[in-house]
Amino acid sequence: MAGQDKTSENETMMQAFEWYVPADHKHWQRLRDAVAGLKATGIDNLWVPPGCKASSPQGNGYDIYDLYDLGEFDQKGSKPTKWGSKEDLMQLIEKANEVGVGIYWDAVLNHKAAADETQTCLAVEVDPNDRTRETSSPYEIEAWKPKECYLQDRRQRKGDLEQALVKEAPLVETDDKQYWSQSVDKEKGNYDFLMYSDLDYNHPEVVNDVLNWGKWLGNETGIKGIRFDAIKHASQVFKQFVETLDATFGTGWFLVGEFWKDSLPDMCAYLSRMAHKFSLFDAPLVYNFSQLSTTENSDLRKVFDNTLVQVEPYNAVTLVMNHDTQPYQALEVRIEPFFKPLAYALILLRQSGYPCVFYGDLYGIKGDPGNHVQAFGVSCGGKVPDLCLARKLYAYGKQNDYFDYPQCIGWTREGTWDYPHGLACVMSNAGPNEKTMYVGYLHRGEVWTDVLGWEPSEVTIDEHGNGLFPCPGTSVAVWVKRDAPGRERFGKFDADIYKT
């Protein structure tokens, strides 16, 4: 309508991998073929896995070896990474740009792996539970370090000046008297060291090299954002990294950090230290989902208590599962299957937070039979894409909450002038239930049905704009006008990504 501002379109991110994707170097190809279908179901941006060369052809990229090798050079056992060649990666990005999907890179900047040679240096051992307390006198160790090398285009790649931190958590001492960084999380006394060879961001040349890599990556690939891995362990560099990107490319990149900790005060303090330059994944919300799904007669009204999306909605990326919390991983968080549709409705259909859906829930988890790791099929009865589409088409306008009963909650979205159709969501973690909710006076007389198809009845909106919306037991129903534009698009997602 003339004179009215256009409503911002809802966006959704997908983590475009799970831990057990086959190491067949075809992942970039599969994503390229799938990206148009993902866009059609309401997914706008893909967080892709670490695409830099890992320690082996099977490495997921968190065992990072070479920041500048995107599957281009024959080292560590292959030319392509686990995910594919650089050519495949660029074809994925080209296709994504064509259909309007952004690519977010997974940047692993805390450490390096698979070093090529050693050097002698002094080290002291520290208490693994309090790394500020030394438990030995200095002695010589052989610490891993990378070789100096040059890329084919004669662009020099520095050796990153890293020092290996060996044993549980020793302190490496050099002529520069290196110590733990003080701008990191205080877990274990000091959480500078995580794994492999820790990068020393107290050294200016290391900082400059990583900042230059960020500029190179943006120019080389045309990505739209970055997910920073392990930011609890090297926080000081990330603020500089963001400022460098802003100065080089302008604002507008999406940046999110992995600060995985079930402590809202620590997360908020980190955002404050970083001047709210980027977002964080809402780990406390994931733990709330787990507690609610595994506790009998749990109170759904408390689902957002002490979560990042509750107190910092602009900087919260909401999620249900990721590659670290999926089954058999070190940070596994158990969420019962019946609860996953409820959880996805809670992150996708409400006004706060930027939701991130998980590849393993859309396409299944492959597992690893050789290591007794079970495979899992698609979750939520294949309905996660439909929930994404409902977000894209209908989850707009004023939100009315009905968090008034412990085992049954709901909310409505009244719609806007340019997204007028509205939505009602009701869920139960016990038996079948129903809830009278207001969807707006403009919807009176409309007939609404469940886009998920789990609740077969119809609801007629009364003269006051209210409807009595039912839902099945331990389930969720998402109600929209029966003949709203876009209803014919539901149930069309192709989840067979491994068919080629």
Q: Lowest-confidence range among 13-17, 143-147, 150-154, 331-335?
A: 150-154
Give the pLDDT band of residue 359 (cuts 50, 70, 90): very high
CA distance 455 to 452: 8
For the chain, the average pLDDT equals: 87
Say whether pLDDT at 84 is over 70. yes
Say whether pLDDT at 178 is over 80. no
CA distance 454 to 342: 13
Residue range 109-147, pLDDT digits in tens: 877 766 777 778 777 787 778 767 778 888 887 777 654
Quick one: pLDDT at residue 370? 85
Residue range 16-44, pLDDT digits in tens: 999 999 999 999 999 999 999 999 999 99
Q: What number of CA atoms fall less than 13 Å from residue 141's CA on the CB side?
A: 19
CA distance 424 to 414: 8
Partner residues linked to 172 by β-bridges: 123
Residue range 467-483, pLDDT digits in tens: 999 999 999 999 999 99
Q: Could you give the residue numbers annotated as active site?
A: 229, 258
Quick one: pLDDT at residue 167? 30
Give the pLDDT band of residue 181 (cuts 50, 70, 90): low
In angstroms, the first-to-last Cα distance of the chain is 46
- What is the longest distance spanned by two Cα atoms in the chain? 82
Residues with Cβ < 8 Å from 114, sequence gap 6 or more? 54, 55, 56, 63, 65, 76
- Amino acid letter at 482? R
- Amino acid letter at 406? P
Q: Lowest-confidence range among 88-102, 141-155, 244-258, 296-310?
A: 141-155
For 284-315, give the DSSP string.
Answer: HHHHHHHHHHHSTT--GGGTTTT-HHHH-GGG
Closest by Cα among 379, 299, 348, 354 to 478: 348
Helices and strands counted in the chain (H then E): 10, 27
Q: Please state, for a pLDDT cut of 90, what percent of the chain lies above it.
A: 64
Say whether pLDDT at 152 is over 70. no
Give the pLDDT band of residue 150 (cuts 50, 70, 90): very low
Q: Does the pTM of the predicted model rise above 0.75?
A: yes
Quick one: pLDDT at residue 277? 85
User: 3-class secondary structure for 191-255?
Assistant: CCCCCCEECCCCCHHHHHHHHHHHHHHHHHHCCCEEEECCHHHCHHHHHHHHHHHHHHHCCCCEE
Residue range 188-229, pLDDT digits in tens: 665 556 555 666 667 788 788 889 999 999 999 999 999 988
What phi, psi does 450 have (nearest 5°)? -80, 120
Give the pLDDT band of residue 349 (cuts 50, 70, 90): very high
